[in-house]
Amino acid sequence: MTAALLPRFAAGTLPRLRQPSVLPGFGLTLGFTLLYLSAVVLVPLGALVAKAAGLGISDFAALATDPRTLAALRLSFLAALAAASINAVFGVLVAWVLVRYDFPLRRVVDAVIDLPFALPTAVAGIALTALYAPNGWVGQYLAPLGLKIAYTPLGVVAALTFVGLPFVVRTVEPVLRDLDRDVEEAAATLGASRRQTVFRVVLPALLPSILTGFALALARAVGEYGSVIFIAGNIPYVSEIAPLLIVIRLEEYDYAAATALAAEMLGIAFLMLLTINLIQAVGRRRLGRHA
């Protein structure tokens, strides 16, 4: 329908919905894009929303505020927040080291950063579990210190840290690379120490990109499932994440509870997407168009 309407608007009497162009194929490609987007993403998600709405307000509220559900959501969110914070700190450090310093195997390190994008989450999950289990390569040295990572909420944080690692690095890296060195030189001529220059000049300039990376890592981590379920221990109210609870409800054929929780998570996802766009818009406004 949209495609059929467009030529009429382009003729000029109505406000233009698209700028005229000599290139062909707009109607066809946009039409297909919208169709495919609707079929694969929008209609299925709409079905979820419709199903959740069909539950009625009181039923939905009861299911959504069920203590086990809330505990699972809280764990998913807090663990994701902790992991994204770890990644914000170390992501900036890694981006800094990659952009500013030269060291052996720099290119290999650069390539390895993207491993969480390429390695299936289940593989990451069993590997991290084996690594941080009390008898694992790393876990055996932590156990005597009373530090248990696998099968605790800490394990959730560890898995989510793995999953979210590339986001901060990859959003900060290009901004840091484009940062003009003369700004740092200016700070030095004005008497700032290197530490003052980094903390008052460089990091504030990177802040929008750090926040974007943080939000992306957070959004990804809140919904993460595969890498977490192996290492979490999955004890209800303690180390049970929200996506796992959806799966459990489904296995119990409790579609209503699964739907309510899924709708909540979808709402959180929308909120994150909105936040990310907001951060970028504010960043652009504060720092000018070339931010």
Distance CA 220, CA 273 (A): 11
Q: Give min distance, CB of 153 to another protein, in A.
A: 17
- When asked if residue 255 is in the footprint of another protein (CB under 8 A), the reply is yes
Of residues 34 through 63, those in contact with another protein by CB under 8 A are 36-37, 40-42, 44-45, 47-48, 51
The amino acid occupying position 6 is L
Looking at the Cβ atoms of 146 and 289, the one nearer to another protein is 289
- When asked if residue 22 is in the footprint of another protein (CB under 8 A), the reply is yes
* Contacting residue, 14, 18, 65, 236, with another protein by CB under 8 A: 18
- When asked if residue 12 is in the footprint of another protein (CB under 8 A), the reply is no
- When asked if residue 25 is in the footprint of another protein (CB under 8 A), the reply is yes
* Contacting residue, 5, 11, 32, 61, with another protein by CB under 8 A: 32
**Residue count, binding to another protein (CB under 8 A):** 117
CB 169 within 8 Å of CB 94 = yes
Of residues 73 through 112, those in contact with another protein by CB under 8 A are 90, 93-94, 96-98, 100-101, 103, 107, 109-112
Helix 255-287 / helix 67-100 crossing angle, nearest 10 deg? 30
Would you give the DSSP letter of residue 113? T
Looking at the Cβ atoms of 146 and 290, the one nearer to another protein is 290
Name the nearest CA neighbour of 287 among 216, 198, 192, 207: 207
Residue keyed to tokens 């290009």: 174
Contacts of 144 (CB under 8 A, 6+ apart): none
| Among the residue ranges 57-65, 140-148, 155-163, 232-240, the one whose residues contact another protein (CB under 8 A) | 155-163
Q: Give min distance, CB of 4 to another protein, in A.
A: 14
CB 178 within 8 Å of CB 95 = no
Of residues 262 through 291, those in contact with another protein by CB under 8 A are 262, 265-266, 269-270, 272-273, 277, 286-291
| Among the residue ranges 29-37, 60-68, 140-148, 232-240, the one whose residues contact another protein (CB under 8 A) | 29-37
Would you give the DSSP letter of residue 119? S
- When asked if residue 11 is in the footprint of another protein (CB under 8 A), the reply is no
Would you give the DSSP letter of residue 179? S
The H or E element containing residue 276 is helix 255-287
Based on the number of CB atoms within 10 Å of its own CB, is 49 exposed (0-12), middle (13-18) or buried (19 or more)? middle
